[in-house]
Amino acid sequence: MDSQERVYTPYRGPFDPCPPKPFKTYVVPPNQYIGYQPPDLPQFSLPEALKAGTLWPALFSPYESKCRGGN
């Protein structure tokens, strides 16, 4: 799986007072899949690292706001 976003269908009870949502999403950060820091990981340049918030591209996880449609 390349996408960090996961989708699931929430339980819909027979007496739920709210209109049901068809699905919900959550993000799994990439550090959950890297057990330890392997040697010789590629690195961002310093300006790119400051912009991305991490030195290693393997640990980069962009934030997509749900309020603005992901932009």
pLDDT tens column, 27-37? 888 888 887 87
What average pLDDT does the segment 17-41 reach?
A: 85
Residue 2, pLDDT score:
63
- What does 10-40 look like in DSSP terms, one character per residue? PP--TT-SSPPPS-EEEE--GGGT-SS--TT
Residue 49, pLDDT score:
94
Find the radius of gyration of the CA atoms of the chain: 18
User: pTM for the whole thing?
Assistant: 0.59
User: At a CB cut-off of 8 Å and minimum separation 6, what does 13 contact?
Assistant: none
Q: Please, how many CA atoms are within 13 Å of residue 23, restricted to the half-sphere of its CB?
A: 6
